Amino acid sequence: MPDMKTRSLLLAFILLVLLAFTGCGSFKYESEEVFKSPSGNKAVTVKIDYVSRPDVFYNSKRIFKYDRTGFTETVPWNVKWNSEDEIELYLADGRAKYENERYVIQIPAD
C-alpha cells in the first residue's frame, strides 16, 4: 500500500488531468458570431470550430450541430432569418461547390 505522500501526489495528478480536460472545452471553437432577428427579440450564436464546422446556439443551448467532416480551408458561415422562428444557415463563400451547404433550422419556443 502506497504511503500518504504517494497517494496525495497521485490524487493531485488525477485532479490536474481532470481539470485540464474540463478546461479544454472552451478551446473547441475558433470563432463565434451573434445574429439578431429582424425584430431584435431573438438572437442565435454561430460558433465555428477549427475546421470550419458550425454549431448554432439559442439561449446557450445548442440547436444545430454540423455532423459532416470539416473543411480544409476557412469558410464563412452566415445566417438569414426567414421568420422569428426559423433561420437558414449557409456557406457565404459564393463558390458553386458550396451551394448545397444550406440548413433550415427551427428556433425553439422560449
* φ and ψ at residue 44, rounded to 5 degrees: -120, 150
Average pLDDT over residues 29-39: 94
- Residue 45 counted as domain residue: yes
Q: In Å, how far from its chain's centre is CA 27?
A: 10
The pTM is what?
Answer: 0.74
- pLDDT of amino acid 37: 95
- Residue 79 counted as domain residue: yes
Write out pLDDT tens, residues 12-21: 888 887 766 6
Write out pLDDT tens, residues 69-90: 988 888 899 999 999 999 999 9
Full domain range(s) for residue 77: 28-106
Q: Count up the domains in the chain and report the number.
A: 1
Percentage of the chain lying above the pLDDT 90 cut: 56
- pLDDT of amino acid 20: 65
Average pLDDT over residues 1-17: 83
Question: Does residue 106 contact residue 56 with C-beta atoms inside 8 Å?
Answer: no
Write out pLDDT tens, residues 94-108: 777 778 899 999 999
> What's at 102, amino acid-wise?
R
Question: Does residue 46 contact residue 89 with C-beta atoms inside 8 Å?
Answer: yes
- Residue 63 counted as domain residue: yes
- Residue 90 counted as domain residue: yes
- Residue 68 counted as domain residue: yes
Average pLDDT over residues 11-40: 80
- Residue 12 counted as domain residue: no
